[in-house]
Structure 1
């Protein structure tokens, strides 16, 4: 766990908390959890919106040297059930009844009695947090980060963003997402003042930039697009901003340039993953929109051939692989870990290049995973639900580019007697909204190799050509 700063503050709505107040609340909650039987090494599920009690719960669990299992507040019953089976937490905290249905939960709305907060030291080798990431097949996997790997990622984030205790940020990204978690823990470590928002609202965000004198704004593609299209954007005072960080999805250059033209604020593109939170960032004094930047301090990046697996030279396209002390300790299930690494190098699944000056550019995805607003969607998870419909003969799910969300989920379905809206509703009832297909396209058959592997690229190209006449949008 990062060493706490002494004077950092947190704001949420009209409430503010000093760091000593947060620590006292965390100590009180830790004592309560210990009384409930939580011990060092235990896994504790935490399913919560962005709220001060999330931060208190995070710190409380770490005070007991227990492990935080982060569950998305957008998940529904089956998704939560899968996560609990995979990680085996013995206790739970949160603000979502769906978790309480599956594991007795201590509601975060209940009062917390502060206690004296003694210093805490955690073993760097012990697991600190499990966050969920989807691979190319199967259900979501849990990414294991130790106290050591998370601390390295936090130091890297402070470094590349140039953060000091004079900075002020606001966070609307769900805390179960690696970016939301990283921003919260980084603010605690660096003494950065932070405001939490339970949900994203553009006008609230803009108003808070002016009122709170926010210095660093964190954005993903939907926020950038909303900024570009806001009719009254120039009326807001954004003069306190040093830059807007763009992460989780590729930069849309036209959108970024439009926002800068209307506000005078520049962008700082960055690149990371659940498995390796900080991979690259643009230099603060030389930020560009055509690249995710250069490798963060302590991160090595190489490009290997997609077929050969051999390291390639400058400007040669291949899979981006990284090596860093901030890399995950592994997955749950454990057997999924080996394919994520190549002789110690984390395989990002992104295709790109690195030039002679070290600038990294991402051009494609090697994996089949879909990234919607920075959240990862495994095609197999959506396909499993569609296959469960009695009238669906076959299906395949993939992502297509979208200016707002980075990618959207599209389902190609071979079926008769069922409509697109019914299938969209079926998935929406079982999975989080970002995993629900934006479009359903009916096809005569799903192209597959003799091995049964779906020819997704071939299918995607065919669907993109035909989608105007045969696609239903939600």
Structure 2
């Protein structure tokens, strides 16, 4: 009898037993290379079946996967390897291969016999499962540690919130190094759903496969939603298999979502999560609304506290959103990032919002200064550090402005000591950091407003620039 396919990639198809056999074979290979319990293995890879196999193999050895973004450049990857204490590396990326010995995922993985016992004990709940990266307060990314217990809790929350079953069919186009991409893959395989991986996002490929693969749940972030809304031939695709489209990573842009629904008849399911706690809230499938991120999923406690006093506020009042849940991370690396992460056992999201009497969560703003670019967080300090390295830059400050599609674009305000063009500064950042971290515009200013403590007054700077005219270079 033909075994059911659970993973598809281009013209390849894999059953659960085939994936297990490949994972067992790869685990034996990694074990021979010295990977053992407690090891941290960097994985820098495109979307491909070997990505899934590598994760499962590393977990069989009770080691942790350190997910590195394939968009990162040498400076960022080197920092990540250092703070995570990486001991081994697998992937398909030349940047990682240039920094340490890497088992190339492009090479053949020999499976064990499909009926053979693996011989591996598998992980404990308290073992670290995965480290993903979020923007750090000092500028460079910090590692978010999830144990198998916290990741399993998140998978359960995602499965229940989306009502996923073995009858569902999904496709993954978002980067696997991002918590959303990983969560989608792990949850789909956990429930026995069918999932297709794509090397990269392409709107026509996505729409064509919704039609041909009869996809039932489509995962989207703001750029995907915008591409759908602006597609000139959207109505030509048969999207009737979709139960809904999930919108995550940024607040919903209602006009974009409504345009897609008007043209296709497919509704949206807004969701709210973070690297530190992957599933916070989702809209009910049968009662979704675009003006709220949803209600907290079962198992996640939410409270709102005063930004001034830290006192717990009653329903309807805005303040910082704080959380408790079994799915919350085990902590950050480096350790100093944990100092302000929790308050009395509650995780501090840094998001400003309110929860009404019926439990609906409204996001208002972010008290943290991170910039959300196409679903990725960018720390202003990280970009500023690169700009400060240019001899012409006397001072600078980086902030985000609305990009019109639910996210932000990066603007750099620069005080110069000698002539330099905006294009030159943009190119410097692009050559040093991931492409999505480069400024879209450089505004030359007479001075960067700061408090006596040295803290940049970003809001003052943004307001000033909106009222004054400065030389500006825009990246188109």
TM-score tier after normalising by the smaller chain length: over 0.9
How many Å separate the matches in 2 of 1:462 and 1:426? Answer: 25
Alpha-carbon deviation of 1:467?
Answer: 6.3
Alpha-carbon deviation of 1:86?
Answer: 0.7
Q: Output one character per residue of 1:144-197: Cα deviation in whole Å (capped at 9) or x when no partner.
A: 000000000000000000000000000011010000010011011111110001
Q: Secondary structure at the match of 2:146?
A: strand
How many Å separate the matches in 1 of 2:64 and 2:153? Answer: 18
Q: Secondary structure at the match of 1:339?
A: coil
1:233 and 2:230 equivalent?
Answer: no
Residue of structure 2 aligned with 1:97, choices 94, 103, 126: 94
Cα 1:418–1:123, aligned 2, differ >3 Å: closer, same or farther?
same
Q: Secondary structure at the match of 1:410?
A: strand
Query: What is the number of equivalent residue pairs in this alignment?
Result: 469
Contact persistence 1:172–1:197 (CA under 8 A): yes
Contact persistence 1:303–1:317 (CA under 8 A): yes
How many Å separate the matches in 2 of 1:184 and 1:120? Answer: 23
Q: Output one character per residue of 1:434-466: Cα deviation in whole Å (capped at 9) or x when no partner.
A: 111111111111000001010011112222334
1:405-416 alignment to 2 at 5 Å? 406-415=407-416, 416=418
How many Å separate the matches in 2 of 1:467 and 1:101? Answer: 44
How many Å separate the matches in 1 of 2:157 and 2:5? Answer: 19
1:61-140 alignment to 2 at 5 Å? 61-115=58-112, 116-118=116-118, 120-140=121-141
> Could you tell me which residue of structure 2 aligns to residue 269 of structure 1?
270
How many Å separate the matches in 2 of 1:315 and 1:117? Answer: 55
> Could you tell me which residue of structure 2 aligns to residue 54 of structure 1?
51
Consecutive unaligned residues of structure 2, counting only runs of 5 or more, are: none
Consecutive unaligned residues of structure 1, counting only runs of 5 or more, are: 1-5
1:285-304 alignment to 2 at 5 Å? 285-304=286-305
Alpha-carbon deviation of 1:263?
Answer: 0.1
Q: Output one character per residue of 1:290-326: Cα deviation in whole Å (capped at 9) or x when no partner.
A: 0000001100011111111111111111111111000
How many Å separate the matches in 1 of 2:384 and 2:261? Answer: 40
How many Å separate the matches in 2 of 1:192 and 1:419? Answer: 52
How many Å separate the matches in 1 of 2:164 and 2:404? Answer: 29
How many Å separate the matches in 1 of 2:465 and 2:134? Answer: 27
How many Å separate the matches in 2 of 1:173 and 1:341? Answer: 29
How many Å separate the matches in 1 of 2:406 and 2:152? Answer: 30
CA RMSD of aligned residues (A): 1.3
How many Å separate the matches in 1 of 2:355 and 2:384? Answer: 35
1:49-448 alignment to 2 at 5 Å? 49-115=46-112, 116-118=116-118, 120-404=121-405, 406-415=407-416, 416-448=418-450
Cα 1:425–1:471, aligned 2, differ >3 Å: closer, same or farther?
closer
How many Å separate the matches in 1 of 2:264 and 2:173? Answer: 21
How many Å separate the matches in 2 of 1:29 and 1:101? Answer: 22
1:461 and 2:429 equivalent?
Answer: no
Cα 1:467–1:241, aligned 2, differ >3 Å: closer, same or farther?
farther
How many Å separate the matches in 2 of 1:131 and 1:282? Answer: 25
Q: Secondary structure at the match of 1:103?
A: coil
Alpha-carbon deviation of 1:405?
Answer: 6.1
Contact persistence 2:39–2:64 (CA under 8 A): yes
Alpha-carbon deviation of 1:371?
Answer: 1.1
Q: Output one character per residue of 1:207-246: Cα deviation in whole Å (capped at 9) or x when no partner.
A: 0000000000000000111100001000100000000000
How many Å separate the matches in 2 of 1:328 and 1:272? Answer: 12
1:23 and 2:20 equivalent?
Answer: yes
Alpha-carbon deviation of 1:53?
Answer: 0.5
Alpha-carbon deviation of 1:135?
Answer: 3.1
Alpha-carbon deviation of 1:117?
Answer: 4.8
Cα 1:427–1:285, aligned 2, differ >3 Å: closer, same or farther?
same
